[in-house]
Structure 1
Amino acid sequence: MSTAADHLQHVINHWADLQQALGTQQAGTWPPVMGIARLAEHLRADDDAFELRALERSPDQIGATAAPLRIAVLDVMTAVDHQLVDVADGIASAVQRPPTTRVPIRVAGPGDDIALQLRTLILKDDADERRWSFTDPRRRTAPYAAAWLLARHDGAVGPFGRLTGVHQDQIAAVARWAAGQIDEALEMARRTQALEDRPCPHCRGELRISGGDGQAPMVRCRGCGRQWTGQAAA
C-alpha cells in the first residue's frame, strides 16, 4: 500500500508530465466509445439480439464527450496546487519557528564579534531555504509544497517543531488525493463504470466496463461473471 511519502513523491515525479500534457489532445472519451464498440462485436457473436449500439454512448448524452485533455489537466493542476499549498500554509503556521530577525538584539559595534556573529546567524535563519514561504509565488507551487510536506513528514531538520498526529493525517489525506488526481489526469488509474441500460445478453445482469489506464477496456457481467475484452469472451 502506498504511503504519504510515496504519494508526495508521485506528485513531484509527475508534475512535469502534467505540464507536458497541457499541450496534448485527449485520446478518447470515457467510457471509451471505440473500445466499447469492439467489445460489443463479441457480445453480438454471443447474442444476435444484442445490438452494437447497446454498448455505445450517444454523442448527445451528457458526459459522453470529455473536455479536451489540456482543460482537464489544467483543472487538476490548479486544484492540486491549491490544496497542497493550503495544507502547507496551515502546517507551517503551526510548526515553523518565526524568523529570529523579529527578536531584538543589540546593534553590533566595531570589534563586537559576538554581536556580528549573532546577526549573521539571524540573517541565515531568516533566509533558510527550508522555510515555507507565505509570499514567494515561485515557491508556492504544488511540487515545491509536496517536497516541503515530504520533508516535514520525514522529520527533516530545520526551523520547525514536531508534527502532531493531526498534521500527519492532513499530509496523508492531501497526498493521497493529489496522487489520485494526477493518475486520473494522466490516465494512469483504472476506472470502473456501470453501463446503464445495457444488460448482459446472457443473464440480463449488470455490465461494468473497466479501463482508462491505457490498457484495453474490459466488460464484465456482475451476474453470470462473463467478461469481454479485445479477445474472445471468457
Structure 2
Amino acid sequence: MADPKRWRHTGHRDAVRTALWLLARVEHQPGPCAPITPAHARRIETVGPGAADRVERALDIASQRRTIERPCPCGGAIDVHGGEGRTPVAHCTGCGHIWTEGGLLGAA
C-alpha cells in the first residue's frame, strides 16, 4: 500500500492534500519526501502570502477595502468595503454618500 504522506501529481489538483503536503514539508515532518532546501523555503515565503490572499478572496472570508478608479460626482474617492460574507458597501470620502447593491442610501 502506498504511503499517504507521499504526494504525486496525478493530473488532478487537490488543494487540500497539496496544502497539507506542503505544510508537512515546511514543518520538517518525517516522511518519504526529501526535506525542502533553503531555496524552497524562500520561495514558499515569497509565494505563500499571495496564495493565501487569493484563497481568502475566492472564499469571501477576508475583509477587503478598495478605492475604485471612478470618482464620485462630487470629485471624492469611492471606497468599497466587503468580504467576510458581508454585502459590499461603497462610500464617498468626499460627500459621504453611501451605496449598497440596492442603490444609494444617502449621506453619512
TM-score calculated relative to the size of structure 2: 0.65
1:59-104 per-position Cα deviation (integer Å, ceiling 9, x unaligned)? xxxxxxxxxxxxxxxxxxxxxxxxxxxxxxxxxxxxxxxxxxxxxx
User: Amino acid of the residue matched to residue 129 of structure 1?
Assistant: P
8 Å contact kept, 1:132–1:148: yes
Matched, 1:187 2:60: yes
Superposed, which structure 2 residues align to 1:58-97 within 5 Å?
Answer: none
User: Amino acid of the residue matched to residue 67 of structure 2?
Assistant: Q
Superposed, which structure 2 residues align to 1:38-117 within 5 Å?
Answer: none
Matched, 1:131 2:3: no
1:106-127 per-position Cα deviation (integer Å, ceiling 9, x unaligned)? xxxxxxxxxxxxxxxxxx8xx3
8 Å contact kept, 2:6–2:32: yes
Aligned to 1:161: 34
Q: May I ask how many residue pairs the two structures share in their alignment?
A: 101
- Give, in angstroms, the shift of residue 163 of structure 1: 1.9
User: Amino acid of the residue matched to residue 70 of structure 2?
Assistant: E
- Give, in angstroms, the shift of residue 158 of structure 1: 1.6
Which residue among 80, 84, 102 is the counterpart of 1:209?
80
Which residue among 11, 19, 24 is the counterpart of 1:146?
19
User: Amino acid of the residue matched to residue 57 of structure 2?
Assistant: E
Where do 5+ consecutive residues of structure 2 fail to align?
100-104
Q: Which protein is richer in strand relative to its size?
A: 2
Larger Rg: 1
8 Å contact kept, 1:194–1:206: yes
- Give, in angstroms, the shift of residue 231 of structure 1: 7.9
Aligned to 1:114: none
Where do 5+ consecutive residues of structure 1 fail to align?
1-123
Aligned to 1:24: none
Distance 1:225 1:169 in 2: 46
User: Amino acid of the residue matched to residue 188 of structure 1?
Assistant: I
1:23-56 per-position Cα deviation (integer Å, ceiling 9, x unaligned)? xxxxxxxxxxxxxxxxxxxxxxxxxxxxxxxxxx
Distance 1:220 1:197 in 2: 8
User: Amino acid of the residue matched to residue 219 of structure 1?
Assistant: H
C-alpha root-mean-square deviation of aligned residues, in Å? 3.1
Spell out structure 1 runs of 4+ moving beyond 3 A.
134-137, 172-175, 224-232
User: Amino acid of the residue matched to residue 196 of structure 1?
Assistant: R
3-state DSSP of counterpart to 2:86:
coil
3-state DSSP of counterpart to 1:148:
helix
- Give, in angstroms, the shift of residue 218 of structure 1: 3.7
Distance 1:205 1:219 in 2: 10
- Give, in angstroms, the shift of residue 227 of structure 1: 6.6
8 Å contact kept, 1:192–1:211: no
Q: Which protein is richer in helix relative to its size?
A: 1
